[in-house]
Every structure is written in C-alpha cells, then in structure tokens.
Amino acid sequence: MTQLADRPSTSTGPADSPSTAHVDAAWLGDYLLGTWADARRRARALAARPEFQRQDGLSLADQRARVLDQLGLLARSGTVHRAFPTGLGGQDDHGGNIASFEEIVLADPSLQIKSGVQWGLFGAAVLHLGTERHHTALLPSIMSLETPGAFAMTETGHGSDVAAIGTTATYDENTGEFVIHTPFRAAWKDYLGNAALHGTAAVVFAQLIVRGVNHGVHALYVPIRDENGFLPGVGGEDDGLKGGLNGIDNGRLHFDHVRVPRENLLNRYGDVDANGTYSSAIASPGRRFFTMIGTLVQGRVSLDGASVVASKLALDIAITYGSQRRQFVAGSPTEEEVILDYQRHQRRLLPLLATTYAMSFAHEKLLTAFDGVFSGARATDADREDLETLAAALKPLSTWAALDILQEAREACGGAGFLAENRLTQLRADLDVYVTFEGDNTVLLQLVAKRLLGDYSRRFAKADAGAVAGYVAGVAHEAAVNRSGLRRLAQNVRDFGSTARSVGFVRDGASQRQLLTDRVQTMVASLAARLKGAGRLSSVDAAALFNANQNELIEAARAHAELLQWEAFTEALAGIDDPGTARVLTWLRDLFGLGLIEKNLAWYLIHGRLSAARAEAITAYIDGRLLPRLRPHALDLVAAFGFEPGHIRASIASGAERIRQDEAREYYRDLRESGTAPVDEKTLRAQAGR
Amino acid sequence: MTQLADRPSTSTGPADSPSTAHVDAAWLGDYLLGTWADARRRARALAARPEFQRQDGLSLADQRARVLDQLGLLARSGTVHRAFPTGLGGQDDHGGNIASFEEIVLADPSLQIKSGVQWGLFGAAVLHLGTERHHTALLPSIMSLETPGAFAMTETGHGSDVAAIGTTATYDENTGEFVIHTPFRAAWKDYLGNAALHGTAAVVFAQLIVRGVNHGVHALYVPIRDENGFLPGVGGEDDGLKGGLNGIDNGRLHFDHVRVPRENLLNRYGDVDANGTYSSAIASPGRRFFTMIGTLVQGRVSLDGASVVASKLALDIAITYGSQRRQFVAGSPTEEEVILDYQRHQRRLLPLLATTYAMSFAHEKLLTAFDGVFSGARATDADREDLETLAAALKPLSTWAALDILQEAREACGGAGFLAENRLTQLRADLDVYVTFEGDNTVLLQLVAKRLLGDYSRRFAKADAGAVAGYVAGVAHEAAVNRSGLRRLAQNVRDFGSTARSVGFVRDGASQRQLLTDRVQTMVASLAARLKGAGRLSSVDAAALFNANQNELIEAARAHAELLQWEAFTEALAGIDDPGTARVLTWLRDLFGLGLIEKNLAWYLIHGRLSAARAEAITAYIDGRLLPRLRPHALDLVAAFGFEPGHIRASIASGAERIRQDEAREYYRDLRESGTAPVDEKTLRAQAGR
C-alpha cells in the first residue's frame, strides 16, 4: 500500500496541460479487478491471512507439509471449487475460478501451483476428460482433498511434445483391464506435483493400445499409493529440491504392468467397450488429441494472470521504495534525491509499469475468452482455436515479463531487494518455472506463428500478388492510407525541426496501431513467401527450410502478441470516463506502444516505416516527456493495484524506509542548528585556499 | 565434461572452407586459463572435492555452519593466503589470489563470497589500509580464521554512496581513544557477511572526527564479539534468509559509543598522533577517500572473473544437454532432432557462448592490470585510474551476463533445468546479488561515463570544432578513412544484391572495430555537447541537466565496455597459432561483434553508419552462416573450459540423457523389428482412405 504523502508535487510543464492529469486510484483499482472482481477480492482476503502465506526458512519437508495443510484449508474454504459442477458443490464458474486462483500467488506461489495441480490439472482432467461415472465417483474426494492426485502427463523424455510420450495403456480383453506400463527410463513421468509424497492417485496419460492399434494419447485414472506407500507395480522418485516452488512435492512415477479396470479410462473423447472395441466421437486422431489436450489451456490462462499479479506486487514494492529511498546528493547540498527522481530509475521501472498495465488488460480479455469457451457460452471450434492461440501468445510474454519485472524490482531495491524479507527474490525463484511449464514459452510462440501462417495462407491460397500486398499494407482501407501517409512523412521528416513535431504523428494511437500491425503483417507475409515452397519439398528439406526461419517465426509471434497487448490496453482506455485518469493512462499506453516501437526500431528503419529523425524523436519523447509526466503519478498507478499490507509484506515497502530517512535528515538538521556539527576538512581547506 | 562422440559431423558447405575449421580444445583450454593457470588449476582441484561443495536442502543454520567449516578447511589449504605478505606466510601474489578465488565459485558461491569477506575485504582492508603494526598484530589470526571478521562499510541508508555514511569515529583526546557511534537507524551497518554470527571483529568505516573537524571516511579495527556474544555497546541483527548465498551469515551492526584505542585506526592514508593531530600524506580529502576506497577494486575484479567461470559452467551444462536431448520429430519420421540443431536453440545459446569467450579474454586483461597495480609493477596514478575504470566497465556487463546466461541455460534445459540437482537455478540465485554489491552496476557504469566525459573534455578543453569532429570520426587517420568509406558504401549498398556481398565489409575485424568505436566516440561527443553548459548552471540546474541525460550516459558506458570486451577477444585471436582453432574463434568473435552491432542496429541506421540492406544482412549472416558454422564446434568450445565431472555435477550433463535417449530409440527399433508394434490408428485411417 502506498502513502499519499509520498507523492511529489512536480509539475511537468504546460504541454498537453498535464496539470489536469490525475489518477482516480480507487476507481482504477476496481476497473483493473475486472469482470471477476468479487472472486479476486475473496481470494485476496484469503491471501492476506498468515495461515495461507509462505513462511521463510522452513526445511524442504516442513515446507511441503505446511503447503499440504494449507491446501486442506483452501479446500474447506470452498474457493477452489468454483469451476466444478453445481451439482457437486461447485459453481460452474470458470472465469471466477481462474481469477481466484491467480490471486493466491500473493500468499505463496507454491500454494497456488499445488492447488492448480490438485484441482486445475488432476481434478480438471477428471472433469473434462471423464464422464458422469467419473464425476460422481471421483470428484467429491478430489474436491475435498481426500484424494490428492498427480497429473501424470510429462515424461522425462518428453515435455512439450506430448504426442510422443512412451507410456502405454494396453487393453487386455481377457480381463477387461488396461495395463499401464513404462517401457524405458525416458518414459518415466516426471516433474509431477503430488507425485513425490502426497498423491494417492494420478491421471496418467498413455498411448492407448487396443487390439494392436495405437489410438494415441488418452488419460486414465490410476490409484498409485495407499497409507503403506506405492501400490504394487508403481514406483517413483522424488525430484528433490528445486529452484523454487519447494512447497510442492514434485516427483517421478513409473509403472510396471499396472492393471486398472476398463472404466478407469477417462472416456469423454474416446472409449473402449466391454468387447474391446474402441470408439470416439472425433474421427480424426489428430483432432481428438488436440481436443483432449485443449483443456490444458486453463493452466496457461491462469499462469498469464498470476504473472500479472506478481508483476503488480513487484512494482508496488519497488516504486514505493524508490519514492522513499534517498541516495546521492544531486542538486541540493543537504538533501539527497529520492531515487525515483533519477531518469535511469524511471527508465527502469516506468516502462515495466506500462507493460504490467498492458498485460493486465490483455489478461482480462483472455480470461473472458476462456470463460466463454468453458462455460459453453461462446464455444465454437473457432472460439476454442482463438482461445488457444491467444493463451499461447500471451502466456510467454507475461511469464517472461514477470521474471524481468521481479528482477528489475529487486535490483532497483539494491541489497535490500536481495533479502527474503522483501520477497522479490523468492517470488522470482518460484515464478521461474512458469516460463517452461504448461507449455514451454518458445514452443507456444511457434504454435502462434503456425496459426498466423495458416490464417495467412487460408486467406491467400488463391489470391494474386495484389491482394497479398493489400493485406500487408493493412486490412482496412483507412489503414492502407495511413501507411502510405507514414511513408510519405518519413521521406519529408527532415523538414521538421523539433522533437515534438516529428514525434507528433506517432504519439497518436492510430499511428502506433498502424506501426505495430504493419510489422506483424509484413513479417508474416515475408515468412509465408520464404516458406511457400515447403509443401513441395521432401520432409527433411521442408524441416530444414522451417528451421532456417525458426527464429523469425518466433519473433513474428512475439510481435503479434505485443500487438494484442497494445490493443487490449487501447480498448481499455475507452472505458475510462474520468478525463484526468484517461490522460495519465493514455500516457502510460503511449509509453507501452512507443516502447515496443523503440525496441524494434531497427526493423522500422530498415523497412522504411520510420525516418531516422522520427526514430530518434521516439526515444527523446519517452525520456523527455512521457517519463517526467508519468513520474508524479507512479504511486497512484501502483496504489490502483489495490494491495493491502497483508499482500505486500515487504519491509522496505512498509514505510520503514521513509521513517529512517526522516530520522537521518532530522539528526543532521538538529546537528547543524545546534552549532556543534564538525566542520568538513574539505571546507576548511577551501577557506584556507581563498 | 563433454563427450567427443556427441559431435555431429555436419558440414557447413564450401564457403570460407569451414572443412578446415576445428578446435584444439586442450590447447584452447590452457589458453583460456591464462597467466594464472596454475592457481586456477589448484583451486579447481579443491572445488572438485565434495567437502568444499554446496549441499542442497540444508537448513539455514546448517548451511551457515557448513560453510564456516569449509572456510576453515580453505584456510588450512593455504590457497586463500596468496595475496598476503610473504613474511606472514602469504605469497604476495595478487593476480593468482584473485584467479584462485574466482574458481571457488565452482564449489559453492557462498564459500567463495564468505572467503572474499574474510580475506578479500576484512583481511585486505587491514593489509591495504593498515600499517606494519596492524599487519603483525592482526593478519596472522585473520589469515588462519582464528578471527573471523566483517567488513563494515555499507549502511542501511547508504550503499553505493560511501562518502555519505553516518557512522562516526570521534577522537577523545582525554583517553586517546576513538568513540565509534551509530547516530540513527539508517546508519546501521548492513548486509555484512560474518556479522550475524561468526565475526568477532570488524573493520568499521566511519566519518573520522578529530577536534571538531570531519576528515572524511576512515577505517578502524573494532572487536565486536567474544564467546558470550556482542561486546558492550555493540548490537546487531541477522539479515535472515536471502535470495541466495545462504551459507553466509549476513547481518547488521550498530555501535553505541564503543571505544577503541587510537592505534586501531587503519592509518596508512590518514593518522592521528598521540596529541590528537590528524595527518595524511594525501592532502586532498577527496583524493584520500578515493585512494582508500580504491582497494575495493579487487572485489569488482573478482566478481567479474567469477561471473565468467559461472557462465562457462552454465553453457557447458546447457550445450552438453542440448547435444543429447531429442524432442519433436522434424525431418525424419522416427528420429527426433537433437535440440541444439534447432536454429532457435542455437540463437539462444551460441551468442552467449561468444559473449562468455569475450568476457573471459577481457577478464584476463583486467586481472593483469590489477596484478600490475597491486604488485606495484605498474602502479602509477594513471594505472590505478585505468584499473578502476576497467573494473567499473567490465563488472556490470559480466555479472548481468552471468544471470542472463544462467537463466537462458536453465530455460534451454526445460523442467530439468529447474531442478536443484542440475545446479543452474541455485547458481543464478547465488550470483543475483553480484549485480548490486561491490558497486551497484548502474552506479559503476555512471563512473565509467564520467571518466569518458572527463577524457573527452581534457582532450578538447581548448580544441576547436574541427578537432572534435576528427575525434568522433576516429582517432587514427586510417579509422577516419574507413568511416568515410563506410558512409559511401552505405549510400551505394543497394547496388549489391546478395547477402554475402553486402555483409562482407562488416565481417572483417577492422570494420567491426570501426563501427563499435565510432558509436562510443559519437555518443560521448554528443553527450559532451549537451552537457557543455553544465558548469555555468546552478547546482540544481546542472543536476537536472545531467539527470536528463543519465540514461544515455549509462548506455555510452555500456557501449564502451562492450568495445573493450570485443578488443580483448580480437587481441586474443592473435595469440592462436593453430589455423583451424583460429578460424572457429574468429567466427565466434564475429558472432560477438555482429551481435553487438545487431543489438544496436537502430543506432547505426539512425546515424547513417549502416544502410538498411547491410543492417538486414547482418542478421541474415548470423542466422545463415555463423550459427551453422559454429554449431559443429559447440561441444569443443565448452570442452575447452576444462571442467571435470566434479565441477559440473549436473545430472543432465552427465551423459544420463544420452543413455536415456539411446535406450528409448533402441526400444522402438526393437519393437519395429519384432513385428509386434501396434499400428497407429492414423496409419490405418490413411490406408482405409486410399
């Protein structure tokens, strides 16, 4: 929680009348909480309670035991059952469930992810891949945590490439059972939460083999432990200490011809009848696989949201501290600067604040799309595909950004940032794995690139070069006009003298959109042209051609995802009625948009979209205008995140630093006034020299 | 240690005859170990012994106790006494001491830094700031660890700005004692290793006040604890759990009028006689302060080197794993790709390998400069100033790079990278604080920028505009010619068609040097012009002017430091006789140089140093030529780091992954050959569809 008293009264000059700029932090706070504000508030209330919070310095065993206990408390609180059917005590509230889950990161990421394993992966697999018989028989004890379970999909040998897992589930017609088997070491299930200690069952993904035919990856419910340990045929290992999330007992599992009844197949998308006949409502094995795997999207959605929450917390801590901490005498001989008044400090933190707002608004759109699909309200195949692409685009950017933001915040707090009591290092350690689990970020961005290329080729399968050029120039007529306008201006920009005038064009939202959109479209079109012949090549040569363009494919996907974030931020501006708040948020959006353009400035210059003068003006505008304008509102912008002391729990953001600073300044003031202050040797020498 | 059998036999085509390229890893290994190879080898032998290594999963208390015990072992090994006087059992070997210290990071960064606190800070302060009486009386028990001690400089309120610390040491003429006092909470000493538990003495930095005159910051030797705990007047707090380095007992200290004899002043640069008269051989208080603080440079030098060692280790682990790990079928239907064959994976790791080589060669130059100054062999004021600037330039880049490299390596190893058994996350957590301690990186880069501006203004204090332009165009005539050549070529580059021809110019070392040098000089000249009037402004306005350019000052310093790394790499090429090794290392240098240019491509475009076509060609050359050429040598390039299994200790880099992959492939091969393999439903459907 930030203190109003810290806000400097800095004026930023008459341009754009920033004197009317202000932030209605209370209103903005509600706005940021979004559609599922109630669920978020309830979860935050839990997260503020010490019994749900991480405790530093516990041994690995104690930390795991504590988080298991907390999971039980969570189960009894009911907050984690929102997504389950109303008939079983849930609320069929998919968006609210994820929103609530995301806020638990404030208590402890270990608790968050362990609850995600139990109810979001293990339980959700039974819910989404199972049918009525599984729901009735299994969900109540999963919901209550009577049956802690593991989600046994990933193997040591295969993470992102789930289709290639080695575990088999072979149907035995004689006994009506499936035989679960691990054929080699690389097919051990690995990194599974609840597998090392607490899980008594698992949803096991395996190649389903019936009468000599492999029907591809399916999920089965498999008991793995009782009070005496592993059940016969089941074995495993503890993954031991990890880089973070040590409240979770990740481990490995392997199966030696373990038999489960036919009914344990989670049979919503594929079933085997008593006669040993396989059937599925989805004829294509490929489409069936992706439909089953599609339920995993909720993990990606929730990691995107949790990363937003953690980023907000990090910036609240660093910006609060930066507004109180004084270091180095700058202008005045007795007063040191508050470090957030240094340009570099602003450059380090304020663009990250803009990114966090963009991530927050983009996440709200993602969660809305998710709720539409999972509630069934907007759940066409196209909706599902859009949801998956959106999640695959946003999750990499936000999880990487959270690590960068936590790191920058920790460095901006100096040595104090390294202490566990200030939370930043531990949060970063815990969130580290978010960038590679639930879909490795690099793999996800490639999925996005494939989708972009697919859309592009569908559109232009039979189109001539003119249509392609039109697409690249912008879908709408207006956009095409803008772009030629841009080009023309770029040629003439040397005529403009001042920074303000040459940046003026880019400052407005439509131009930012044009530049960002143009880049995505041009990159995709250029890649499509280069990959055009791939279909006629041998599989080896086609793979080589794709591989030679892999880096650019990923960069195109990233550019697309950044555009989505920018669009979400811009759309959110339209919902702000208060002119002062809208003005500040527009500056923040500009900082985000111009930051993206600045990051990719070489591309815009190479492709003739910006002149050199205008490119330079962008940096000058960020440093000279946007940062000074936003600086006075920085504390309000983090206050709008709405965190209470029970969420922040970082001693440097508690106001202790301001008290220390005030005490020190008072000491020196008193000393000066008392007349007993020692004289500096430097001063004496200067006097003597005169 | 990497396996020769993993090396692919990929040929990269006839251009530049890469068929003759190879790496003599054994020779290169010796070359990389540098001048102090013996010291490094001895320290590595220690680091390979389990009793010196980090043990995962210990409680905070046990970890601290273990590292203290290890420190005792180190003391008995003698390796940590190299820098001390021969007369006291040391070797007066300053370079060897730092080289040895750097390698200890392979055992455990906590052990490294705790030994740095004891002998590199606490002991070194007594050695360098004290005189004969202190050496004889104090050093033996410091060297033996009989007296563990803290280096009490940093305060909660002042880290980087040492001159502003609040602790006072006031001379009492009546008793001949100094009174050490902490006047307010912000003046508590903080983050001090050995302060929470083990330290029995401290070197305390304080404002030295004698007869009402403050002579500035001086250091005093102060006993703080005996077997019963803190001595009277001394108090403190434990900093508790940290983001890493938890083998060290960092803590806080405060003093309530604690008295020490006059003789406890470490009096090499400033003394108080029995009559209470202050004297110093260095008249200027400012110069005296910077001379005393100058001994701190050894911390920066050693962190630079330790970051190089940790980066090498991270890349050895990730590149070894990337050469064994298979994922996703690409070209072949049965054989998956080794992940290092993916372009993106190469893009992620090989430029970092190039950076690590550059850092390693640059560090060797830094260590040589350090040894020259500390041994007295090359120790003029100019040598000292150059050493400090070089350390301030390189330490930020290498400590930040180490974090990036450890993180990229961890992500490149996926979930396995997150496990403590693979070491990457723990090393990253431990090295995190390297970027803000021993001089905050951002502050250090500002020191470098000030030096660059100072040199510039000294050079041009009375020069006319023409001389300035000449400087910017390049110091040497040849360079100026090159630059105009560059400009002219840039205009005509559209005439060139192929990538190879348009990048040809930049590929050679002289052009890379020209581009990198030109950027530094132009940035400095441009900043100097903007800051020119600062001297005539009020202090408030001058500070505001500097602040408005702070970001660019730091970027100029970074550009300068990158140029130094590039120069060191290029100089090192000249020492390689074997043509095959020289060829590969030249490619690696090109990857480093072109990578720097690519990173700052917008600058080169804006300032007309590169045409758009050439700028694009640089990226194409990296992706299309350098990465494929270097890929077959990646394992040799990490083998040259010379690590043994006892240094690596990461299960994924032990060969276990290859064994798993081989076993899985053998299983599928046997299954196919046995004729009992299940048929894929997909295949059946395809056959049925025909």
Give every strand in the sheet of A251-255, ordered side by side.
A189-192, A251-255, A234-238
Give dist(CA B412, CA B399) in Å, integer: 20
* Burial classification of residue B665, based on how many CB atoms lie within 10 Å of its CB (0-12 exposed, 13-18 middle, 19 or more buried): middle
**Phi, psi dihedral angles at A249 (to 5 degrees):** -90, 70
Of A241, A341, A602, the CB nearest to B601: A602
Q: Where are the alpha helices (DSSP H) in A493-574?
A: 499-507, 509-531, 539-548, 550-573
Q: Which of residues 345-404 of A touch B (CB under 8 A)?
A: 347, 403
pLDDT score of B543: 87
pLDDT score of B463: 54
Give dist(CA B346, CA B342) in Å, integer: 6
Note the residue count of chain B.
Answer: 690
3-state secondary structure A406-444: HHHHHHHCHHHHHEHHHCHHHHHHHHHHHHCCCCCHHHH
The strand pair at A213-223 and A271-272 is best described as: unpaired
pLDDT score of B155: 95
In which residue are the tokens 């070069």 written?
A465
In which residue are the tokens 């968050």 written?
A112
The three-class DSSP label of residue A600 is coil
Give dist(CA B597, CA B100) in Å, integer: 34
Is residue B342 less than 8 Å (CB to CB) from chain A?
Answer: yes
* Burial classification of residue A483, based on how many CB atoms lie within 10 Å of its CB (0-12 exposed, 13-18 middle, 19 or more buried): buried
Cα–Cα distances (Å) from A106 to A139, A250, A498, A646, in that order, read 27, 21, 46, 9
Give dist(CA A223, CA A274) in Å, integer: 21
Of B418, B436, B660, the CB nearest to A415: B436
pLDDT score of B94: 96
Give dist(CA A401, CA A305) in Å, integer: 12
The strand pair at B168-172 and B201-210 is best described as: parallel
Give dist(CA B234, CA B232) in Å, integer: 6
Give dist(CA B30, CA B578) in Å, integer: 14
Is residue B632 less than 8 Å (CB to CB) from chain A?
Answer: no
The strand pair at A168-172 and A177-181 is best described as: antiparallel
Give dist(CA B442, CA A417) in Å, integer: 15
Cα distance from A286 to chain B (closest Cα, Å)? 8
Whether B337 contacts B326, CB under 8 Å: yes
Is residue A437 less than 8 Å (CB to CB) from chain B?
Answer: yes
Whether A637 contacts A360, CB under 8 Å: no
Q: A684: closest CA among B211, B272, B171?
A: B211
User: pLDDT tens digits for A674-686?
Assistant: 998 999 998 898 8
How many CB atoms are located within 10 Å of the residue B544 CB?
16
Give dist(CA A146, CA A122) in Å, integer: 13
Q: Which of residues 591-610 of B touch A (CB under 8 A)?
A: 598, 601-602, 605-608
pLDDT score of B503: 62
- Between B541 and A97, the higher pLDDT residue: A97
Cα–Cα distances (Å) from B197 to B73, B244, B247, in that order, read 19, 17, 12
How many CB atoms are located within 10 Å of the residue B200 CB?
17
Is residue B13 less than 8 Å (CB to CB) from chain A?
Answer: no
In eight-state DSSP terms, residue A614 is H
Give dist(CA B121, CA B143) in Å, integer: 12
Name the helix (H) or strand (E) containing A672: helix A656-674
Confidence of residue B484 (pLDDT cuts 50, 70, 90): very low
Give dist(CA A522, CA A487) in Å, integer: 15
Give dist(CA B63, CA B605) in Å, integer: 53
Whether B508 contacts B434, CB under 8 Å: no
Give dist(CA B163, CA B290) in Å, integer: 9
Give dist(CA A463, CA B689) in Å, integer: 30
Please state the pTM of the whole predicted model: 0.93
* Burial classification of residue B503, based on how many CB atoms lie within 10 Å of its CB (0-12 exposed, 13-18 middle, 19 or more buried): buried
pLDDT score of B295: 82
| CB within 8 Å of B318: residues ≥ 6 apart | B349, B408, B409, B410, B412, B413, B417, B424
pLDDT score of B158: 87
Is residue A675 less than 8 Å (CB to CB) from chain B?
Answer: no
| CB within 8 Å of A521: residues ≥ 6 apart | A471, A472, A474
Q: Which residues of A touch B425 (CB under 8 A)?
A: 242-244, 429, 432
Question: Are A682 and B286 inside 8 Å of each other by CB?
Answer: yes
Q: Which of residues 243-262 of A touch B (CB under 8 A)?
A: 243-244
How many CB atoms are located within 10 Å of the residue B57 CB?
13
User: pLDDT tens digits for B71-86?
Assistant: 999 999 988 999 999 9
Give dist(CA B361, CA B341) in Å, integer: 28
Tokens representing B196 are: 């929470």
Whether B311 contacts B289, CB under 8 Å: no
Question: Are A550 and B330 inside 8 Å of each other by CB?
Answer: no
Tokens representing A463 are: 């189109």
pLDDT score of A458: 82
Give dist(CA B336, CA A304) in Å, integer: 30
Q: Which residues of A touch B607 (CB under 8 A)?
A: 612
The three-class DSSP label of residue A295 is coil
Cα distance from B488 to chain A (closest Cα, Å)? 18
In this prediction the ipTM stands at 0.93
pLDDT score of B466: 52
Chain A nearest-CA residue for B677: A212
Is residue A56 less than 8 Å (CB to CB) from chain B?
Answer: yes
Whether B447 contacts B406, CB under 8 Å: no
In which residue are the tokens 């959106």 written?
A390
pLDDT > 90: percent of chain B: 79
Question: Are B661 and A186 inside 8 Å of each other by CB?
Answer: yes
Q: A222: closest CA among A244, A247, A255, A193?
A: A255
How many CB atoms are located within 10 Å of the residue B381 CB?
9
The four Cα atoms A220, A223, A224, A227 give a dihedral, to 10 degrees, of 170
User: pLDDT tens digits for B399-444?
Assistant: 999 999 999 999 999 999 999 999 999 999 999 999 999 999 999 9
What is the maximal distance between C-alpha atoms in chain A?
Answer: 108
* Burial classification of residue B688, based on how many CB atoms lie within 10 Å of its CB (0-12 exposed, 13-18 middle, 19 or more buried): exposed
**Phi, psi dihedral angles at A328 (to 5 degrees):** 70, 125
Cα–Cα distances (Å) from A11 to A8, A21, A595, in that order, read 9, 10, 23
Mean of the per-residue pLDDT values of chain B: 90
Residues in chain A predicted with pLDDT less than 50, given as ranges, are 1-15, 331-332, 470-500
Residues in a beta bridge with B261: B177
Tokens representing B489 are: 């070529």
Is residue B433 less than 8 Å (CB to CB) from chain A?
Answer: yes
Q: Put residue A547 in one of left, alpha, beta given phi > 0 → left and psi -120 to 50 → alpha.
A: alpha
Give dist(CA B34, CA B368) in Å, integer: 10
Give every strand in the sheet of B251-255, ordered side by side.
B189-192, B251-255, B234-238
User: pLDDT tens digits for B215-258?
Assistant: 999 999 999 999 999 999 999 999 999 999 999 999 999 999 99
Is residue B276 less than 8 Å (CB to CB) from chain A?
Answer: no
Give dist(CA B568, CA B358) in Å, integer: 7
| CB within 8 Å of B626: residues ≥ 6 apart | B350, B587, B590, B591, B594
The three-class DSSP label of residue B218 is strand
Confidence of residue B485 (pLDDT cuts 50, 70, 90): very low
What is the maximal distance between C-alpha atoms in chain B?
Answer: 108
Cα distance from A487 to chain B (closest Cα, Å)? 15
How many CB atoms are located within 10 Å of the residue A359 CB?
27
Chain A nearest-CA residue for B335: A540
How many CB atoms are located within 10 Å of the residue B620 CB?
14
Give dist(CA A15, CA A413) in Å, integer: 32
